[in-house]
């Protein structure tokens, strides 16, 4: 192996990628080019600290690539349009962002002419598949290097190795794996490796500091969140602002249990205040303004979209077809949604929209009808029940 072999490492500054830098550069002689792909999870101070850490570990060059706006425009808005929650629980916080990070890392590797691409995934989760697939699609000629997976290392073994290399870090923070992005934060630790334990309060990145209920109004324009409490925002800024408002209530916390791409069950904690509030509000508005069949087919295609995205299939062409359908359904999804936020919970009060199909012009459910008569309904019910009535009669004649 040549000591000058150029390797791009998808870098987060966490334990796994710190190990990869030291192992690949000092033990294997690779020239490491680290790249951090920001999908809305880092402050400027954090980005600078991660860059400094990369150089202190021994990388040849570090690059930071911002993909937050692309992440929203190409993915998150469709997760909202589809009201997508994996297993009715998880807003695909990490599942969605990983593919964007992997694609950007592969494109960077191609740009600088790297011979290999590395990532710090273990051999037991979904990320290894997502990264491998994106790397192979974007740059199939590159070697894929995965030290943690190949060496089957535990977190304790990684820590011991880094200590032996003189790496100084606050090791107690390594007890939990935190992945923060625009669409939520995942939290993994010893409790999520079990089936019966919940994460402690201290494990969640945002501690509960709000105790008094708060009313919030969200403004949607063609399915996108564009305002909060009568203040206009661009969608990305609206998500960030709503997270600031809702996360201190402890809203959006849960543990997701699901099927991994590699066929085993997996468990992960998460904190996703803005996604859960947005999806609930958006779905409520849709129930007022869309037809029965629009709602039905949206749900079918959205579930399919979320499943494919979870499995790393973002670049599958059918995803663009589903996105076209989802976007087309949003033409009337405009209006205000009023909510109340409280510690560890929230609820939707109601909506206002000029497209509201509950218009009293045509009738009020359970009260009165203006657009049909009792005879109209009597005749409709007779025709609608005909086939089942015939089925029952034929069954009786053949007993």
- Write out the chain's pLDDT in tens, 399 residues: 445 799 999 998 888 999 999 999 999 999 999 999 999 989 999 999 999 999 999 999 999 999 999 999 999 999 999 999 999 999 999 889 999 999 999 999 999 999 999 999 988 889 999 999 999 999 999 999 999 999 999 888 999 999 999 998 776 656 788 889 999 999 999 999 999 999 999 999 999 999 999 999 999 999 999 999 999 999 999 999 999 999 999 999 999 998 888 888 999 999 999 999 999 999 999 999 999 999 999 999 999 999 999 999 999 999 999 999 999 999 999 999 999 999 999 999 999 999 999 977 765 555 667 778 889 999 999 999 999 999 999 999 998
* Contact call for residues 126 and 339 (beta carbons, < 8 A): no
Look up residue 14 and give its two tokens. Answer: 């966490």
Q: Which residues contact 395 (CB under 8 A, 6 or more apart)?
A: none
**What does the DSSP assignment read for 153-218?**
--HHHHHHHHHHTT----GGGGGSEEEEETTEEEEESGGGGSSS-PPPGGGSSS-----S-EEEEE
CB count in 10 Å sphere of residue 87: 11
Look up residue 112 and give its two tokens. Answer: 């600088």
DSSP label of 142: S
Q: Is 86 helix (H, G, I), strand (E, B) or coil?
A: strand
- Could you tell me whether strands 143-145 and 116-118 are parallel, antiparallel, or unpaired per DSSP bridges? parallel
Output Rg (C-alpha) for the chain, integer angstroms.
25
Q: Is 73 helix (H, G, I), strand (E, B) or coil?
A: helix
Distance between CA atoms of residues 128 and 97, nearest Å? 14
CATH placement of domain 177-290+332-352: 3.90.1260.10
CB count in 10 Å sphere of residue 394: 9
Nearest residue to 283 via CA among 76, 81, 74 = 81
Nearest residue to 215 via CA among 349, 352, 351, 353 = 349
CA atoms within 13 A on the CB side of 211: 1
Task: Give me the helices (H) in the chain, please.
Answer: 15-22, 44-57, 68-71, 77-81, 93-112, 127-138, 147-151, 155-164, 235-246, 273-289, 292-310, 318-328, 374-384, 386-397
- From residue 83, how far is each of 315, 326, 386 by CA, in Å? 20, 10, 36
Look up residue 309 and give its two tokens. Answer: 């995205």
Output the furthest CA–CA distance in the chain (Å, rounded). Answer: 87
CA atoms within 13 A on the CB side of 59: 26
CATH placement of domain 6-165: 3.40.50.620
Q: Where are the domains of the chain?
A: 6-165, 177-290+332-352, 368-398
């Amino acid at each position: 192996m040549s000591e000058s072999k150029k390797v791009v490492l998808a870098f987060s500054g966490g334990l796994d990628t710190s190990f990869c830098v030291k192992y690949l550069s000092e033990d294997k002689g690779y020239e490491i080019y680290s790249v951090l792909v920001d999908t809305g999870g880092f402050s400027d101070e954090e980005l600078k600290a991660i860059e400094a850490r990369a150089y202190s570990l021994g990388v040849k060059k570090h690059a930071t690539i911002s993909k937050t706006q692309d992440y929203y425009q190409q993915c998150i808005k469709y997760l909202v349009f589809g009201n997508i929650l994996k297993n009715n629980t998880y807003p695909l916080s990490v599942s969605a962002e990983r593919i964007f990070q992997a694609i950007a890392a592969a494109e960077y590797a191609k740009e600088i002419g790297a011979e290999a691409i590395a990532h710090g995934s273990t051999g037991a989760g979904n990320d290894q598949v997502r990264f491998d697939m994106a790397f192979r699609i974007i740059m199939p000629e590159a070697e894929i290097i995965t030290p943690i997976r190949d060496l089957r290392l535990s977190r304790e073994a990684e820590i011991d190795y880094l200590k032996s290399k003189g790496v100084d870090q606050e090791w107690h923070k390594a007890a939990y794996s935190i992945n923060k992005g625009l669409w939520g934060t995942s939290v993994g630790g010893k409790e999520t490796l079990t089936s019966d334990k919940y994460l402690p309060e201290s494990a969640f990145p945002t501690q509960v500091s709000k105790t008094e209920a708060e009313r919030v109004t969200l403004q949607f324009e063609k399915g996108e969140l564009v305002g909060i409490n009568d203040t206009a925002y661009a969608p990305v800024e609206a998500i960030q602002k709503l997270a600031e408002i809702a996360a201190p209530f402890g809203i959006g916390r849960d543990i997701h249990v699901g099927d991994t791409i590699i066929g085993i069950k997996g468990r992960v904690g998460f904190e996703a205040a803005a996604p859960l509030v947005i999806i609930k509000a958006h779905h409520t508005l849709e129930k007022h303004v869309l037809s029965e069949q629009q709602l039905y087919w949206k749900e079918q295609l959205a579930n399919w979209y979320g499943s494919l995205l979870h499995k790393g299939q973002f670049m599958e062409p059918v995803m663009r077809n589903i996105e076209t359908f989802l976007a087309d359904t949003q033409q009337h999804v405009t209006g205000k949604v009023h909510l109340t936020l409280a510690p560890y919970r929230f609820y939707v009060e109601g909506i206002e929209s000029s497209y509201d199909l509950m218009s009293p012009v045509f009738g009020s459910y359970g009260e009165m009808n203006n657009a049909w008569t009792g005879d109209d309904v009597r005749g409709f019910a007779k025709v609608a029940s005909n086939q089942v009535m015939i089925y029952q009669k034929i069954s009786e004649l053949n007993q």
